[in-house]
Each structure stands twice: as C-alpha cells, then as structure tokens.
C-alpha cells in the first residue's frame, strides 16, 4: 500500500512536470515568422563592387577607343527639341524639357553635335509603385526588338521578378535581378552582358559626378547599345533640381527612369543632355520621353540612393 502511494505520487509529479513544460515548448516556434527585410539600399558586397569596377573600366576603355573618338566627330542627325530649336547646336544651357519623336529617332538635320540614342517606347506604370517594373518593361521591349504596340512581359510579371509588390517598392539590386530575367536571351542584349548596380562616385576628384554619369551613359548607349535605369527623387521640395516630367513638388520615396540617349559633351554645365522615358502620368508626373541636363540628373541621383543600374 505504501509502495503504491509512492508510485502514484511519482506518477502525479511526472504528469505535473509535463503539463508545466509542454506549453512553453509549444509556444516557441522552430523558426521565427518570415519578415520582409528593410527596403533601403544595402551596401554592395565585395563581389558586386568588383563587378561594378570592371564595368566602369570597360566604359573608360570604350571612351578612349577610336570608335568613341570618331563618333564625336561624325556628322549626325541633330537632336533639337521643337520648342527650343537651336539650343543644342549653339551650346545653350537648358535643365530639362519634353523630347519629341522626331528628335529621339535622330533623323533629319545634319550637325556636328555629338550624340547617341537607342529607340525605346515609353510605358505608363500600371500601379502607383510600379515605376521600376515600367522601366523594366521599356528596357525589355527594346532588348527584344519589339515595336511600340507590343510588350514582351507584363509589368506584373516583371514586378514579380523584382519583388516590387512584396516590398512595396523596387531597390537597385532587385531591379537588376528583374532586368536580368526580362532581357535574358534577347537579340539586342550583347554577348557576355550582365546588368550591374554601381554607385555614382566622384572618381576624378573634381567635386561632381556629372562627368562620370555622362561617361557611363555614353558607354551604355553608344558602345553597348543598351538603355540604363536611374533612380531619383523626381521633384523634392528640398532640392533645386527636378525631372522635367515632374513640374510640381511631390513627396516621393524615389522614382525610376530609363535613360536612352545623350546629346553634347559634358562641360560641367547644363549643356549636355540625358534623354529618358517616364511612366508617372497618374502619380504626379508625366508619361513619355523627356530630357534633363546630365548635371541635374547626377545631382538628383546623389540626393537619392547614389546608384544606378546599367
């Protein structure tokens, strides 16, 4: 009887112990629930920095080549907006404006203004946070050699590759992933091409980054025949600079544009131009083709993430 009481007491203690421990063990998950990482731009890894350095070196090599030097002297179709006809040819400084279809195809007036263009077609973004996928669509359509009436991929599909819906925006590294998938196997994508994220830095110590941006744009457009993707604050009230496609100040987390052309050599002024597509008709900006001075875009890049994809 006594032994039975001891056994029952031991059994009761074991049951109480199990009941006490079990809830704590059950409350501790095997791993924490998945949470989105921060949406800000992370630093580039050493491998990504090395890839960027290689692309910058290749751009410098192109600009020093006979091909690039001859392109600066060849008589080309003059790219002059209809509203400001002689500005480029005469060296006038203009910070931005609307690009017409005739000027972006480089056809008609002969002049000696250095320039380079690829033919792209603007797209309106299908959601308020789809500026990145819209740029991806513009670049994919160009890379697959489609005319203005067709899209290779929907913006929704490109947004999936860029994780845009998951994060509510598109950072440079995710946009690069989307461009890789959207242009893989396309006829206009150069052999051995890789999309690269680079930081826009003052590499020559002259106090600005406009000359660097102009060089990378020339190399991408005239050398590789590819557009590039650039993120900016389109019209911050705190800045003296804005995209010509955004006439009014807006509180924006950032905005992507597709750069497809350049006109004029960089002089450290607002003379040299960068041509781009915008997708923001319903977001406070405009949809179509526009230009800004290279200097103003470089400053806006520096006021935002300081990086671009090419």
Task: Give the DSSP letter of residue 72.
Answer: T
Give the pLDDT of residue 97.
82
Phi, psi of 116, rounded to the nearest 5 degrees? -160, 140
Contacts 24+ apart (CB under 8 A), 246-249: 246/278, 246/280, 246/284, 246/285, 246/286, 248/284
Give the pLDDT of residue 152.
98
Give percent above pLDDT 90 in the chain. 72
Cβ burial 88-118 (10 Å sphere, 16+ → b, else e): bbeeeebbbbebeeebbebeeeebebbbbbb
Residues in CB range of 302: below 8 A, 6 or more apart = 200, 209
Low-confidence winner among 59-73, 219-233, 238-252 (lowest mean pLDDT): 59-73
C-alpha dihedral, 18 to 23 to 24 to 25, nearest 10°: 80
Does position 307 have pLDDT exceeding 80, yes or no?
yes
C-alpha dihedral, 48 to 52 to 55 to 59, nearest 10°: 170
**Domains of the chain with bracketed CATH:** 46-309 (3.90.70)
The pTM of this model reads: 0.81
CA distances to 10, 171, 196, 256 from 40, in Å: 58, 7, 18, 15
- Indicate the SS3 state at residue 220: helix
Q: Which residue has the tokens 């106090």?
A: 207
Number of CB atoms found within 10 A of residue 275's CB: 27
């Amino acid at each position: 009887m006594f032994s039975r009481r001891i056994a029952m007491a031991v059994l009761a203690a074991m049951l109480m112990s199990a009941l006490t421990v079990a809830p704590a063990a059950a409350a501790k998950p095997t791993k924490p629930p998945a949470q989105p990482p921060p949406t800000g731009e992370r630093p580039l890894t050493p491998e990504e920095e090395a890839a960027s350095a290689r692309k910058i070196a290749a751009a410098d090599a192109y600009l020093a080549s006979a091909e690039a030097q001859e392109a600066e002297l060849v008589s080309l179709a003059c790219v002059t907006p209809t509203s400001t006809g002689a500005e480029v040819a005469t060296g006038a400084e203009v910070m931005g404006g609307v690009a017409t279809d005739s000027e972006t195809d480089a056809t008609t007036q002969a002049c000696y203004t250095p320039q380079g263009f690829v033919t792209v077609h603007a797209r309106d973004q299908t959601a308020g946070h789809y500026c990145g996928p819209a740029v991806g669509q513009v670049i994919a359509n160009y890379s697959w050699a489609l005319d203005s009436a067709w899209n290779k991929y929907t913006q929704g599909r490109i947004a999936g590759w860029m994780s845009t819906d998951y994060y509510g925006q598109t950072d440079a590294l995710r946009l690069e992933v989307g461009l890789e998938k959207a242009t893989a196997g396309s006829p206009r994508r150069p052999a051995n091409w890789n999309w690269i994220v680079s930081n826009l830095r003052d590499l020559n110590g002259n106090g600005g980054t406009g000359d660097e941006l102009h060089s990378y744009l020339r190399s991408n457009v005239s050398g590789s025949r590819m557009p590039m993707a650039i993120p900016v604050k389109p019209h911050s009230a705190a800045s003296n600079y804005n995209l010509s496609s955004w006439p009014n100040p807006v509180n924006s987390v950032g905005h992507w544009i597709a750069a497809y052309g350049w006109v004029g050599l960089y002089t450290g002024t607002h003379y040299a131009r960068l041509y781009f597509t915008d997708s923001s008709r319903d977001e406070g900006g405009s949809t179509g083709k526009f230009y800004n001075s290279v200097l103003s875009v470089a400053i806006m890049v520096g006021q935002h993430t300081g990086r671009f994809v090419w």
